Each structure stands twice: as C-alpha cells, then as structure tokens.
Structure 1
C-alpha cells in the first residue's frame, strides 16, 4: 500500500466520484479504477458500493478512510520535521574540521545538526552570539561562549612526491588561518603563495605545483607525501558552547 494510493482513496471518499477524482488529481479514470481495485484486492474487502448517487463507502471503506487520514497526516508531519532545519542544532565550523569530523570521522549525524561552514576570519570576528556550537581552529574569543573541549589536527608539510624542488609553499589567503600562520613561522614569506580556497591548495599540491601544510587525514585521502625535512605539527582546534 503506497501513500499515493491512500491519497487517491481519500479523494474518492470525499468526492464520491471516479470521474471527479480523476479530473482533480489529473489521472485517467481507468488509472483511478485500477488503483482502487488494487487497494481492495490488497485489503481483501469492498470499499465502495456503486450507485446512481455515486460511490457509497462500506463499513470497511469508512475504517479505511480514517486510517488513510492518520497515515497521510503522520507522513506529512514526518516530512516537515525532516526538512525543518530549525529543529536541528546549529553549528558554525571551520572547513577542514567539517571535512574531518563530519565527513571523515562521521561524528555528527546530519539529521541532527545544521552546519554553517565559515572561514577563520569570519569565525574569529563573529559578533553575534546566536549559534549554540562553534568548532574552530581560529583564534576565537567571545564572552558569550565557553570553551568545552580542545583537540588537535596532526598536520605536516606535504607534496605530491615528498620533495620540495623549489616549489612555493601554498598558504590560505585567510589571515586568521592557523595553517597560514604556522607556515609563515616556518619559512620566509617570500617563499609562499597565497591561495583563496583549501580545494585549490589541495589541487595544486596534487598537481605538483606547490607544497603545503595540511592535516594528515587530507594527505592520506589525496595520497600526498610528507616532506622529510619537517616535523609534524599539531594544530589545536576547540569546541565552544553558547552559555545559557
């Protein structure tokens, strides 16, 4: 028994006419008749009696109508809840952390959370205190939020082949990005090249056109090689909760 069959049956019950139901629902009369017969066969009972006054529901038809209303109402309610983002807990999160915690580690169920991916600068300069949860490696301070947890992203300088070969160090153009700051603390700024997005940085490293400080999970996923001359570093990230 499909939801559409119950919708057709409900309309038949209310209009008491196969012709009117077909016109209203934009089906052929033969289609409506076939769906009704299939439903009666499935339930093994007659749902309507045909008369000059139209369709007259049997006792089984009355019960089926009540059942159809309940099922259709419950289905509509479920659909609304599944698509209602207001019922989900809102989370502001940095891009690499979304890829790591949500995509890679699957620590969050997308049905329960509404994620807003923001740059480090956008998070560091966040003025409004409207989001219940913030997960970031940006230098975030706000009187309305309390730090709940601190973790680290193990990261390393990587290239496509494990060698530097006079290629530029790619850094994110976001000035609040800790990967950028760590790179600038390690190599001269003249040896770096600023790029607007993480996707572009990763793609350029894959193409052998630069090296970059990236989380180990990114290096593993894209088959990138660690540069032997550099130690691994741990980039801290923190979880903040909006205080009541």
Structure 2
C-alpha cells in the first residue's frame, strides 16, 4: 500500500461508488477494485459493504477514512514545507547589502538571514547549519563548505554633492574586525591629527555620507546605487569569503 492507495480509498469513501471513483481519478474500475482489495488485505479488514447501488463504509472503514485524511493532510503540509524551505544565511551587514544588490542571491521574504559582526561570524557558524556564509574573515572551521575567495573593489567615497576638501572627517565602522575600518586606519593616525568618527552600522555610515558629513572607504558599486562620488582615485581591494554548503 502507498500514498496513492490512500487517495483511492478516500475517493471511494466520499463518492460511495467504485465507478464514480474510477472516473474521477482516471482509472479503470477494475484497477480501483484491485487496489481496494490490497488495502483491505493490508489491514485484514473489510472497509465497505458492496451493494447494487454502490458501497457503504463499515465502522472500520470510517476509522480508516480518518487515518487516510490525516495522513494525506500531513503529507501535503510536509511537501509544502519542503517546497518553501528557507535558506539559512549568515552574513555581515555590508556583505548582505552586496549579496542583495550585486548577486541577487538572497530573498528577504523567504530566506532566513542572520546578521552578525565580522568578529562574531566564525563562532556563530558553529552553532547552526547555514547554507551560505558571507564573511570578511576565514572561518575557524569550514568543514562541509566550499570556499570562494572574492574581492570588493573599493574607494574612499563621499556625497556626490560634496566638494572634495581636506577638512572632511574619516568615518569608520566601530566593529574592530571590519576590514574597511582596518584599511582606513592603516595610515590615517599617522597622517592626520583630527579624530576619525566611529559609527556602529553600515546603514548609518551611508546615511551620514549622503548628508555630506564625511567620507568613508566603501565598495564602488555604491557610487551609483547611493549617489556617492570618489573622494580619492586610488582603489582598494577588500577580500571576503563565501562559504556554500556542499551537497553530497
């Protein structure tokens, strides 16, 4: 007996006719009769009383109907859940923006996205089963994942409406492990007396730049996307990693 047999059984129960059931399911009546015999043999029970004008369910048939309906409903729900299974994705805030705008790989309506600071991604990756992980740092353990090494071409950017002047403050992410912060501060402390501004999120940095308050090292795809301009002409390549779960 299989799931299709349960569908045949429920059809017979609801139509109370082998002939009507055969027509609705697209089978020959002899096939329906044979499958019903197999179902009854499997449970060693008689589920219907045959008569000249159709079939009537026995008490055992009524119990079997409840079981069949419950099983088929569970099967349908399981199939629906599998079709709508969400991708678990781990990423930093900036790389989430990159993946959504440059790769079109993420769907915020269906994917389960976990955002962590760069320094917390390796430890978080060990706690749950993620299908894709975007990280600026290599994972401490990447077993079961295929690793891709990529580069983000970046520039120091500012508002497109802002003239380039020497008095603008540098804006960096407050996450100490952020590679854009590290690259920005390599020579800044030596060459400048003014204090840089630390901002706690990528979104807030963009907001400040668009208001013309400072400049910051960011990926070049944001130039057109966020109406920014290059504050300096020297590109900086920032390495990041994409880990994709292996399918065996």
Q: TM bucket by the smaller chain?
A: 0.5 to 0.7
Relative to structure 1, is the Cα distance of residues 143 and 93 closer, same or farther in structure 2, using a 3 angstrom cutoff?
closer
Q: How does 1:1-244 map to 2 (within 5 A)?
A: 77=77, 81=81, 87-109=85-107, 113-126=111-124, 128-132=126-130, 133-142=132-141, 144=143, 146=145, 148-160=147-159, 161=162, 163-188=164-189, 190-228=194-232, 230-241=233-244
Is the 1:91–1:134 contact (alpha carbons within 8 Å) kept by the matching residues of 2? Answer: yes
TM-align CA RMSD: 3.6
Counterparts of 1:173 and 1:83 in 2: how far apart (Å)? 40
Aligned positions, number: 174
Is the 1:97–1:135 contact (alpha carbons within 8 Å) kept by the matching residues of 2? Answer: yes
Relative to structure 1, is the Cα distance of residues 119 and 142 closer, same or farther in structure 2, using a 3 angstrom cutoff?
same
- Structure 1 unpaired stretches of 5+: 1-68
Asked which structure has the greater CA Rg, the reply is 2
Relative to structure 1, is the Cα distance of residues 145 and 227 closer, same or farther in structure 2, using a 3 angstrom cutoff?
farther
- Structure 2 unpaired stretches of 5+: 1-68
Please give the TM-score of this superposition, normalised by the length of structure 1.
Answer: 0.59
Q: Which digits, 9 at most, give the CA deviation of each residue in 1:198-244, with x for residues without a partner?
A: 1111111111111000111122211111023x411111111224678
Please give the TM-score of this superposition, normalised by the length of structure 2.
Answer: 0.58
Counterparts of 2:140 and 2:113 in 1: how far apart (Å)? 20
Relative to structure 1, is the Cα distance of residues 152 and 110 closer, same or farther in structure 2, using a 3 angstrom cutoff?
same
Counterparts of 1:106 and 1:127 in 2: how far apart (Å)? 22
Is the 1:157–1:212 contact (alpha carbons within 8 Å) kept by the matching residues of 2? Answer: yes
